Amino acid sequence: MPRISSIDSRRSIVNQKIPILKIKDYLIVPIQVDMDDRLALQLQMDILKQIEKCNSRGVIIDISVIDMVDSYLGRILGDTARMAGLMDARVVIAGMQPAVAITLVELGLGLEGVYTALNLEAAISLLEELLDKDAA
Amino acid sequence: MNHSIIDYKELRALISVGTSIIQETNLETICQRVAEAVVKYSKFQRSVVSILEPDGTLRRVGFGGLTDEQITKLKQMKRSTMEEKKNIFSDKFRVGQSYYIPHDQVSLEGLKSEKEYSPNHEWHPDDFLFIPLYSIGGEIVGMVSIDDPVDGRRPTEEGLLPLEMLANQTAASIENSRNTKKLQEMLVKLREQQKVVMELSTPVIRIWERILVLPLIGTVDSSRAMQIMENILIRISETESAVVIIDITGVPIIDTLVASHLIKTVAAVKLLGADTIITGINPEVAQTLVHLGVDLKEITTKANLSKGIEAALDITGLTVTSKDS
Amino acid sequence: MNSDYRIEEQDKIEILEEKDVVVCRQACRNWAKRMNFNLIDQTRITTAVSELARNIQEYAGQGEVQIQIVEKDMRRGLRIIFIDHGPGIKNIKLAMSEGWTSHRGMGMGLPGAKRLMDEFALESEAGKGTTVTTCKWLPL
């Protein structure tokens, strides 16, 4: 039976923290690595803590370089948005790739109640709009 | 001494090779395995398997019992044509299904045997022996050339039988492989044509900055619905559009599967951060959607395309006003 | 049934810890990419692998994932088999139903992965382990 040598897939998985940037009243979270479950859960905690510390009203999670969202990461993203909501902060998921969106829907996850935006710029406009509405 | 009796061990080994190559789709592999099997299991110590190409030449493909230099030399040699082989494949040389050409009858180009033969050998180093490969339809598709019998004797009808059986299986394998390749090429072509038709039938048009329109016309089946979903999402992402209007005025009926694709499309568009507006739902489609229990709360619908465009402009922060006002 | 598949190439990846789920899904994406699956199918495959490899890690602790390029009826496909010797699934029907979950995930794992792949077969015996065989075919 043919057999090829194992692809060098054990490229190191960065075990670093995902950076959370503070810009004005917002937090921006650019996810740039393929996260394992532990790292995703850690990120959820970090975002919530940062919201508390900075009194943030809005969070943008940029997933434009993420090439896969499975049910676990989907749940983490959805939960984070709802938890942030309880702390009076809005979460917008920005830049989801078309292939990821199709797969998520087929998987049965619609991320109900989560705000989405095409890109970072649209996410900021959306947050401003949402917060204006809250203020009114 | 009777050397013309069939060697059953040889027969069994060659038939088993023949059976194993019938599944093989690579022509080169088929010919190489046959050439090697001839040398390994029959009394002939050298063999070349050639394939008849569409241009009428015989391409030497499989080699058995030859050195690398000899193979290179053979490959460089001018290819013979079936036309040239005509005077060889004549009844006077026929032995069974094969043709045996003693060296003094016709002069042919080929590799010289490097072996010394004792004078009492019947087989001369410059003798030739060809087994034509006949397709099921009786056409010649190639040829096996064999040489250097280990016993130095001339071939007999019975003695060649096992090799001829292998030759028939080889011909069938070659034909099979060629048909498979043809079929695959046809499938690829068909698939490409289908793709073109699909793309033509699902045009996503950018009508204004950040507004896309997809006018759906005709029957939508599941695979087209899937294609539509993929097209819409990719176009939204490329153009960074905020709204896509799907106009289904031209769609007579919608079934459960298509309805569920439509719902999925709306959900996926939402995930990208854009909105969907569906326009032109006719009475039949409205009935179907409600009977199917489709939840339309999530979907924005408008009566017709122009109302849809108004709503889309509104979403993107634009309004249409008359010049007079 | 397995005899219909001709295996062109194969490899396997062991699932020993949480990180291996990521290693495994990245490897499967590379295979899918190399086979020229389109971007959407690559993502479907990667996501299904992530769900099923996680199941191994979560329920059995460890196991292995076999990746094969197969051919059947003139079609090429990527077949991925998930094997563990964990506790097994007592109620397969329940496990395959929407929304069922033990803890992690959203209960979309098994039925979701099934929807993303073209072929999906689950065999499990309580106390012996679980094998999930999946396949995605290249378009003709």
Q: What secondary structure does DSSP assign to chain A, as a single string?
A: ----PPP---PPPP-SPPP-EEETTEEEEE--S---HHHHHHHHHHHHHHHHHHT-SEEEEE-TT-----HHHHHHHHHHHHHHHHTT-EEEEE---HHHHHHHHHHT---TT-EEESSHHHHHHHHHHHHHHHH-
Residues B171 and B289 in one domain: no
- Nearest Cα of chain C lies from the Cα of B19 at a distance, in angstroms, of 17
Residues B15 and B142 in one domain: yes
Residues B178 and B209 in one domain: no
Task: Please give the tally of structural domains in chain B.
Answer: 2
User: Which secondary structure element, helix H or strand E, spans residue B150, and what is its range?
Assistant: none
Two tokens, residue B273? 């951060």
Instruction: Quickly state the pLDDT bin for B223 (edges 50, 70, 90).
Output: confident
CA distance linking residue B69 with residue C29, whole number of Å: 44
Two tokens, residue B145? 């050339």
User: Residue B22: helix, strand or coil by DSSP?
Assistant: coil
Q: What integer best gives the mean pLDDT of chain B?
A: 86
Q: Select the residue of A3, A35, A67 nearest C43 (Cβ to Cβ).
A: A67
Q: Which residues pair with B212 in a beta bridge?
A: B206, B244
Cβ–Cβ below 8 Å for C26 and A11: yes
- Domain limit, last residue, from B160, B185, B210: B185
pLDDT digits (tens, 9 = 90+) for B268-283: 999 999 999 999 998 8
User: Residue B105: helix, strand or coil by DSSP?
Assistant: coil
Residue B257: inside a domain: yes
Mean pLDDT of A118-127: 94
Q: Select the residue of C22, C42, C108 nearest A13 (Cβ to Cβ).
A: C22
At B228, which CATH number? 3.30.750.24
Q: Does A95 score more than 50 pLDDT? A: yes
- Domain limit, last residue, from B151, B185, B219: B185
Cβ–Cβ below 8 Å for B180 and C140: no
Residue B240: inside a domain: yes
Interface test with B, best of C3, C40, C116 (most B CBs within 10 A): C40
Q: Which residues of C touch A4 (CB under 8 A)?
A: 9-11
pLDDT digits (tens, 9 = 90+) for B238-268: 999 999 999 998 888 888 888 888 888 999 9
Q: Does domain A21-135 have CATH number 3.30.1380.20?
A: no
Two tokens, residue B123? 């087989």
ipTM: 0.87
Q: Does A4 score more than 90 pLDDT? A: no
At B74, which CATH number? 3.30.450.40
Residue B311: inside a domain: yes
Q: What structural domains does chain C harbor?
A: 2-137 (3.30.565.10)
Residue B87: inside a domain: yes
Cβ–Cβ below 8 Å for A37 and C13: no
Residues B145 and B222 in one domain: no
Residue B43: inside a domain: yes
CA distance linking residue B272 with residue A114, whole number of Å: 11
Query: What's C72's DSSP letter?
Result: E
CA distance linking residue C43 with residue C126, whole number of Å: 32
Q: Is A118 on the interface with B (CB under 8 A)?
A: yes
Q: Does A49 score more than 80 pLDDT? A: yes
User: Residue B208: helix, strand or coil by DSSP?
Assistant: strand
Residue B193: inside a domain: no
User: Which residue range is the domain that position B302 belongs to?
Assistant: 202-315
Mean pLDDT of B33-46: 92
Residue B139: inside a domain: yes
Q: What integer best gives the mean pLDDT of chain A?
A: 87
Query: What's B91's DSSP letter?
Result: G
- How many CB pairs lie under 8 A apart between chains B and C? 9
- Nearest Cα of chain C lies from the Cα of A134 at a distance, in angstroms, of 30
Residue B74: inside a domain: yes
Residues B210 and B146 in one domain: no
Report CA-CA distances (Å) from C89 to A2, C59, C60.
33, 9, 10
Q: What secondary structure does DSSP assign to B160-190, as a single string?
A: HHHHHHHHHHHHHHHHHHHHHHHHHHHHHHH
- Domain limit, last residue, from B136, B154, B185: B185
Q: Is A77 on the interface with B (CB under 8 A)?
A: no
Is-contact B24 B178, C-beta < 8 A?
no
Q: Is C79 on the interface with A (CB under 8 A)?
A: no
Q: What integer best gives the mean pLDDT of chain C?
A: 88
Q: Does A2 score more than 60 pLDDT? A: no
